[in-house]
Chain A
Amino acid sequence: MAQAGTLDVDSGGRVVAAGDWTLASAPALDQRVVEVKRRRASGAVDASGISRLDTAGAELLLELAGDARDGITGLDEGRRALVDAVAKAQTEAVAKVPPQPPGIVVLLARTGSAVEAIWHDAIALVGFIGLMLQTLARTMPNPRRWRVTPLFFHIEQTGLDAVPIVALLSFLVGAVVAFLGATVLRDFGASVFTVELVGYSFLREFGVLLTAILIAGRSGSAFTAQIGSMKAREEIDAIRTLGMDPVEVLVLPRALALLISMPMLTFIAMLAGIFGGAIVCIFSLDISPGMFLQRFHDTASVRHFWVGMSKAPVFAFLIAAIGCLEGFKVSGSAESVGQHTTSSVVQSIFVVIMIDALAAIFFMKLDV
């Protein structure tokens, strides 16, 4: 039933179109149209041999005829109507493609707008943190406005549900650190110092850092996606028109929940990491559990614990702020939710590691 569309010039110089002038044969016909047009400017086309015609075919016929639309002959009433409709649409459809600037200009422009975007993001984050603190100060004195149910819901989601993964990963990293320490320190006959290595690193840095990175990936992204899809579906606007404050309703419970669950998760991460280190010490270094505990007790001072712990609420607050703010930046589309979720995780992890590095220098100078 289907026959390929053809376009030929017969011996009398007439242009004859035949066969199926449909989308399926459009690529071949498109080339033929260009060839025939190159030989002859425009003019009469005999279209009586066309068996099927659709909009793609009509568009090619018009392309072939150029300005001389009346030159197309052999169309019945229905096809004439189709060609007319397409011609009418074509006049409106003169697609204007804006001229492309040269590559170097595009590169510079994109670099500039990226830098500007970083600057605007930073300003927006500082502003948003201010807004959160202001809202917190306003709601604090009024216990009736504390949103206890969502608070506990989010503590469960961000804290309790994250315990297994945080504990497992910290345990594994603890074991890896102990292995590394044992391998390097054995050469110096100082493998017993592995206990200090694991203790120091997990109390001061790894416990809180691992937790923060996991929470940024797990809860920060969830905050962005939740608030972002609410924004996309105008739910945030609905909250506003119902006389509620989105920051109070959505952001504070999430931020407070992270502030509560993050220190607890950090504590669990420290325990799990040190436990992982202890297991390696016991099974591959011939350090007995009693000896490990004794050594740990003698060397690890409580100030290391407090140095690590003091960072947990800071990280929690920043992750929550970035996650929620990115959610509010979502506009309309599903793709936007994805973009901002990615941006939220990247920003959170960047900020967490940067603050951790600054804190390390700070505590070193303070000599704690």
Chain B
Amino acid sequence: MTERETVIEVHGLRNQFGTQVVHDNLDLDVYKGEILGVVGGSGSGKSVLLRSIIGLNRPTAGSVKVFGQEVTRLSEAQRSAIEQRCGVLFQNGALFSSLTVAENVMVPLREHHHLPMDLMQRLAALKIALAGLPAEAGAKYPSELSGGMVKRAALSRSLALDPEILFLDEPTAGLDPIGAAAFDQLILTLRESLGLTVFLITHDLDTLYTICDRVAVIAKKRVLIADTLDKVERFDDPWVQEYFQGPRGRAAEHAAEHAAHAATEH
């Protein structure tokens, strides 16, 4: 295998809140252009890891490099430059409730670029359509949207600045299976067409089997293994075994195999 370009490097990360140690000596690399799924039990610190990488949470120790730059030691301007190359989809969308969807998408455009209004509106409409929302959704307020539409609207805002890395925190949680499958396909399509790197926290086994290139398992305060699904499935750890060999894990695996067969036959 050829040496791939790493866009995120986490080394020896330690996160501690009071006496509670969430991460200890955690290492993780994310390669350019891949979709990395991050799994782990509730409270294992997946979201804290995400927050450490995007600089919302200052780690107790260790180094976090994004695009080769240490995120904890950046000036305000450098940080802003990195943030503009990252898009984040928060678990509950975090759309600004006082703005319409289109205005939400325009917030980062307005803040970082001096675009003519007409172009900005065209770009916002484009991002909204890219996220798979109908054009009418742009004029709506977040409170008028369903759960699935909120996720898509939030995704369109995270795509506003054409990020190179997309962070997704449980994007399919709370969506119905059809909506979740459509969202999976959407992420896949966006990765193909926009060349994104995707860092994806999920509990959804179907998502793992359908779209992830590699899976990182967080347990015991560190990354147990980060590799392709086949290797992770065979990894000798009781939690990993239970996660992937439990009834839901097996069902998702069968479903994925079935889909693959169907695809090759046609």
**How far is it, in angstroms, between the C-alpha of A90 and the C-alpha of B113 when the chains are bound?**
21
Which of A35-43, A80-88, A112-120, A133-141 contacts its partner? A80-88
Tell me, yes or no, whether A16 is within 8 Å of chain B by CB: no
- CB atoms of B116 and A93 under 8 A apart: no
Chain A residues whose C-beta falls within 8 Å of the C-beta of B115 in the assembled complex: 26-27, 30
**Beta-carbon nearest neighbor of B127 in chain A:** A55
The distance in angstroms between the C-alpha atoms of A117 and B122, with both chains bound, is: 36
Interface contact A333-B143, CB-CB below 8 Å: yes
B5 at the interface (CB under 8 A from A): no
Answer whether residue B77 sits at the interface, using C-beta atoms and an 8 A cutoff. no
A55-B126 contact given A95-B138, A333-B142, CB 8 Å threshold: yes
Select one of B116, B121, B159 contacting A95, CB under 8 A: B121
Q: Please tell me if the beta carbons of A59 and B123 are within 8 angstroms of each other in the complex.
A: yes
Q: Could you say which of B97, B125, B192, B193 contacts A93, with CB atoms under 8 Å apart?
A: B125
8 Å CB contacts to B: which residues of A66-106?
Answer: 78, 81-82, 84-86, 89-90, 92-96
With A and B bound together, what is the CA distance between A81 and B143 in angstroms? 34
**Which chain B residues lie closer than 8 Å to A331 at the CB level?**
143
Across the interface, name the chain A residue whose C-beta is closest to B160: A23
A-B contact count (CB 8 A): 86
| B98 at interface, CB cutoff 8 A | yes
Residues of chain B at interface, number, CB under 8 A: 33
> How far apart are the CA atoms of A193 and B53 in the complex, in Å?
73
Does B244 sit within 8 A of A, measured CB to CB? no
Alpha-carbon distance A331/B189, docked complex (angstroms)? 35
Q: A333-B141, A334-B98 are in contact. Are A92 and B193 (CB under 8 A)?
A: no
Indicate if B128 sits at the interface (CB-CB under 8 A).
yes
A89 x B126 contact (CB < 8 A): yes
B98 touching A92, Cβ below 8 Å: no
Contact of B125 among A84, A95, A335 (CB under 8 A): A95
Are B97 and A24 within 8 A (Cβ)? no
Minimum C-beta distance from A102 to chain B (A): 21
Bound CA span A26–B213, Å: 33
In the complex, B24 has a CB within 8 A of chain A: no
Q: B119 within 8 Å of A by Cβ?
A: yes
Chain B hits for A235, CB < 8 A: none
For the residues of B in contact with A, the DSSP-based class is: helix
* A336 partner residues in chain B, CB cutoff 8 A: 97, 143
Which B residues touch A130, using CB under 8 A?
Answer: none
Least Cβ–Cβ distance between B146 and chain A, in angstroms: 13
Question: How far, in angstroms, from A24 to B159 measured CA to CA in the complex?
Answer: 15
Q: Which of A26, A78, A86, A93 contacts B128 (CB 8 A)?
A: A93
Are B123 and A56 in contact (CB-based, < 8 A)?
yes
Interface status of B129 (Cβ within 8 A of chain A):
yes
CB distance from B147 to the nearest CB of A (A): 13
Interface residues as binary, B19-40 with A (CB distance below 8 Å gives 1, 0 otherwise): 0000000000000000000000
B135 near A: Cβ within 8 Å?
Answer: yes
A30 is contacted by which of B97, B119, B193, B195 (Cβ under 8 Å)? B119
Picked from A24, A89, A334, the residue with its CB within 8 Å of the CB of B113 is A24
* A245 at the B interface (CB under 8 A): no
Are A332 and B162 in contact (CB-based, < 8 A)?
A: no
CB of B161 within 8 A of chain A?
yes
The answer, yes or no, to whether B130 is at the interface (CB within 8 Å) is: yes
B118, chain A: closest CB distance, angstroms:
8
CB distance from A56 to the nearest CB of B (A): 6
| A22 contacts B143, C-beta separation under 8 Å | no
Q: Are A85 and B143 in contact (CB under 8 A)?
A: no
Interface check A54, CB cutoff 8 A: yes
Closest to B131 in A: A89
Q: Are A22 and B119 in contact (CB under 8 A)?
A: no
Chain A residues, CB < 8 A from B119: 26-27, 30
Separation of A26 and B116 alpha carbons in the complex (Å)? 9
A18 to B130, CA, bound (A): 25
Ranked 4 nearest A-B pairs via Cβ: A333-B97, A332-B143, A93-B129, A85-B193
Besides A27-B115, A92-B134, A93-B126, 14 new A-B residue pairs in contact (Cβ under 8 A), listed by A number:
A23-B123, A23-B162, A24-B113, A27-B119, A30-B116, A54-B162, A78-B195, A85-B189, A90-B126, A92-B129, A333-B141, A334-B97, A334-B98, A336-B143
Chain B residues engaging chain A, CB cutoff 8 angstroms: 97-98, 109, 113-116, 119, 121-123, 125-130, 134-136, 138, 141-143, 159, 161-162, 189-190, 192-195
